[in-house]
Structure 1
Amino acid sequence: MSDIVSTEGTLGGEPRLDGRRISVLQVVDMVRNDESPAYVADQLDISLAEVHTALAYYYEHPDEIREIRSRHEKQEQQLESRSVSPPTAER
């Protein structure tokens, strides 16, 4: 079973399964989208125990998770404000 680690140079320092590039939020979001833990484990090629480790970390560190989600939202807003829409075709 993997531990949860945070490494500055991997996934922006977000908590992830040790030895993998699978973030806690990736696992949690899949489960919260009505995917069973067993399905998530199969899709990510991790053990069911690793899914539950990620879920436990998520619920044990709510302040950290809120900060990460807030950072993601800010990044999305910045990218959206910089994006350019393609020109519309004239008929």
Structure 2
Amino acid sequence: MVTVESIDLITIDPDMRGGRPCIAGTGLRVIDITMATIFHDRTPGEIASDFDVSLAEVYAALAYYYQHKAQLDQDIREQVSIAQQFKQQSLGSQHASLLS
């Protein structure tokens, strides 16, 4: 008989972080771990240290990402777009005083 084990390290709570998947017991989103890996070239060990989580939690987040890649990639694109909009608004408001 084969038993499939589940690792319960990722949770989704509609009342936390917009219902995005997080490492259980934290507000650290799976996409935070993913973006640290992809955009900042951090290793799982560095991420565990940076965010004060276990290596198992980092790997669980990465495994969850790869199981739900299309959905989470869309979420990442949206987060990057929002950050770019804020950056442009901030830069625009700083330069507006120069033009007045």
**Identical columns (%):** 29
The structure where helix makes up a greater share of residues is 2
Largest Rg, 1 or 2: 2
Question: Who is 1:88 aligned against?
Answer: 98
Choose from 6, 16, 20 the match for 1:14: 20
Q: Which residue number corresponds to residue 62 of structure 2?
A: 55
Moved more, 62-71 or 73-82: 73-82
Structure-2 separation of matches of 1:39 and 1:78: 29
- Which residue number corresponds to residue 32 of structure 2? 26
Distance 1:89 1:81 in 2: 16
Q: Hey, what's the Cα distance between the residues in 2 that align with 1:44 and 1:7? A: 20
Q: CA RMSD in A?
A: 2.6
TM-score where L is the length of structure 1: 0.78
Gaps of 5+ in 1: none
Query: Which stretch of structure 1 is more off in the superposition, 23-32 or 64-73?
Result: 64-73
The 2-side partners of 1:34 and 1:25 are apart by: 14
Q: 1:9 to 1:59 in 2, by over 3 A?
A: same
TM-score by length of 2: 0.72
Q: 1:34 to 1:78 in 2, by over 3 A?
A: closer
For these two proteins, the number of residue pairs brought into alignment is 90
Structure 2, unmatched stretches of 5+, are: 1-6
